[in-house]
Amino acid sequence: KQEVTQIPAALSVPEGENLVLNCSFTDSAIYNLQWFRQDPGKGLTSLLLIQSSQREQTSGRLNASLDKSSGRSTLYIAASQPGDSATYLCAVRRGSARQLTFGSGTQLTVLP
């Protein structure tokens, strides 16, 4: 059974700092990995999706990497802003299955 872990559970940084969020998974036979953002009381917004054949994806100040062999993904946020404050979730899709298995998330607070 796939298990997805995100550490730390919460992170607080000053504005302008670069930061890395971590995601690990137990079964390396994944089809893709998706990073989401969730604001309080809101739904999930897809940030980046990395296919199993890819090493990284970039969107603006966000960069996600994937190392299947070690079962790890990182989300790098450059020059953090208070508007980046949210919970960040990673989710993996395994093989032919369509469903996603989610981590418990990292709650990020960027202090002005």
Partner 1 sequence: DAGVIQSPRHEVTEMGQEVTLRCKPISGHDYLFWYRQTMMRGLELLIYFNNNVPIDDSGMPEDRFSAKMPNASFSTLKIQPSEPRDSAVYFCASSYLAGEANEQFFGPGTRLTVL
Interacting residues toward partner 1 by CB under 8 A: 31-32, 34, 36, 41-46, 49, 51, 89, 91, 93, 97-100, 102-105
The tokens for 78 are 């450059």
Nearest distance, CB of residue 43 and partner 1, angstroms: 4
Give 79 or 97: the residue with its C-beta nearer to partner 1.
97
Give 69 or 99: the residue with its C-beta nearer to partner 1.
99
Beta bridge partners of 33: 50, 92
CA distance 28 to 39: 29
The alpha carbon of residue 35 and the mean position of all alpha carbons in its chain are separated, in whole angstroms, by 4
Nearest distance, CB of residue 15 and partner 1, angstroms: 28
Give 11 or 49: the residue with its C-beta nearer to partner 1.
49
CA distance 67 to 5: 15
Nearest distance, CB of residue 16 and partner 1, angstroms: 30
Q: Are 32 and 52 in contact (CB under 8 A)?
A: yes
